[in-house]
Structure 1
Amino acid sequence: MSTEYGPLEPQPIEVEETRAWNEAAVGARLNAEVLLRIMPPREGSFLRPNSDDPLRNMAWFCHGLLESAADHLVLWADYAAPLKFHPDHVTVHALRPVFTLARAAIESASQAIWVLSPEDPKVRGARYIMLATWDLNEQLKAAVDEESRAELKSRRDSIFAALGVTARTFRPPRYLDMIREATEFLSLAEPVSMTSAGNVERVWRCAAAAAHGKHWPEFELHDRTEVDDGLFSSVPKIGAMSEVLEVADCLLSASVVLFAMHAGRIDDHKKLWDEAAQRLAAKVTPASTDSP
């Protein structure tokens, strides 16, 4: 399989340069497989309280965040590192799609870590309620008919009353704050090249800018060569793409482990991971050894 990166003048990429991409693709697929089999939480675990507990839907809420992160990275993996190879297949990598998908994974996984990371279960519960209320409030804004709007508003207002806030005073957490707290909790280290919340913030801001069509990533995240007066050849930086994938992969993997811990399924995690690895290996058709 030939792999190139563009957009104007695609250039071949050496396999060693994309090792981080392959690791992220494998991690996305394995985590997605584990997530399919890790529910429901065991009875008596934090994520499986009794049926009268107001936190009874917390497991499904957090599991949905993890599925979102995995779905985005698996979509990228299916394009960038397909399981089946054709000798004539060429993958051309552009910067914005990978940054957009990785950004979504970073935000989704960070929310789950933000909820599940505090030691105090009361704080975990309060954070879940905060995010679930924010979710409901956004659903209300998108309601398509008056009946749905009225029902959602009634539910939201009852929660606001219990929290002692109003639609005007309710302040949900910011994505940036949750990403920073998730990073600080994990103390991200090698093989991820960013070792501080500030560095991960930089990666996330680059991803958000790329997703929103901002112009500055063209200069920050591409190698540009002037080929004529006012005309540039521009190719995305391999290192920048590796960075954002490493961060997304690390956050997803950590959030799945954290979920397993609070679901009382941590002893099952390694077994599910190993089984997923075996299934994945059976699906892969190795690329030809003489392919770049």
Structure 2
Amino acid sequence: MNKKTLLLSAILLTAALSACSSRQASPEPSEEPNATVELMTTDGRAEAPSVSGPVEENSSPVPSEIPSDASDRTGRFLKSTSGDGILVIDNYGPVVFTYASGDRSVLDTLDNGDAVSMKIGPIMETWPGQTTVYSCELLRKGRRGAVDPDTLASLMEMGQIPKEPLSPMFYARDTLFIGTGRTASPTCGTEDGSFSSVIDSLKVPSENGQSNFGSEGDGYISLWDGAMAVRDGDHYTLFLANGTLEYEGRFFRQSDLSDDTVAWLDSYNNLPEEGRMSISYVPYDLMPEDNTGITAMETDASAP
């Protein structure tokens, strides 16, 4: 083999090796038409692509949906040391609640003992119970003393509500009598008994002759089966047993009155004395028995 032949073979071999190397370095074409080859980087400092244009921020609260198993409950409101408040549900008991609505205007106006209607979710069976409230309606203003005293005492002991003295009350004839703050006018001056012991104002009396106010020896007079008058200096204060109501010196069983009358009487008794003098409507079942045929009594002023 001559030198020209060897030189030509070397050139052809070099060209073949160069072409093979070029094919290995290039990415293989995709079988998909119009496919493109993406370049990748292993640089860990690479930043994510930024979003062009301003980013919108939704700061308005999303309203909570009311679940299908929510129900309307009525009761008395109490301010709580935990949660948004306590609803003492009629014929059930206290429930600590979280308020889900963004509009707290009604909730912020409530005072202890106000009668309310709330739409609540399922109740967790603890004591007190726990639930979520989705709406609230004020039915009428009330007072803390309208809440069962044993419930108040237990909630205070557990730290669920602030500690405040309970309504004045005493135990006699195996019955608890709770002060109304209203003046009583006994027709007989002979006292039926007196206090034999006085306990802390945060507790509920449970023994005959026991009170959570006043002094030992303070006397009381029976006015009716569920009504007592307790001497306070030169006058007497009205005390009522659970289930007994009073209107202008006349006494009634709550079970004998309609729900509307009981609600009216609750509002009436929460009025100041001058307000009670200017009412415009009195339910018939509170009228004296000789007012036969009268469905209601009206005056010239506005109703409570």
> How would you bin the TM-score normalised by the shorter chain?
under 0.3
TM-score for the superposition, normalised by structure 2: 0.22
Q: Which has the higher helix share?
A: 1
Q: Which has the higher strand share?
A: 2
TM-score for the superposition, normalised by structure 1: 0.22
**Which of structures 1 and 2 has the larger relative contact order (alpha carbons within 8 angstroms, sep 6+)?**
1
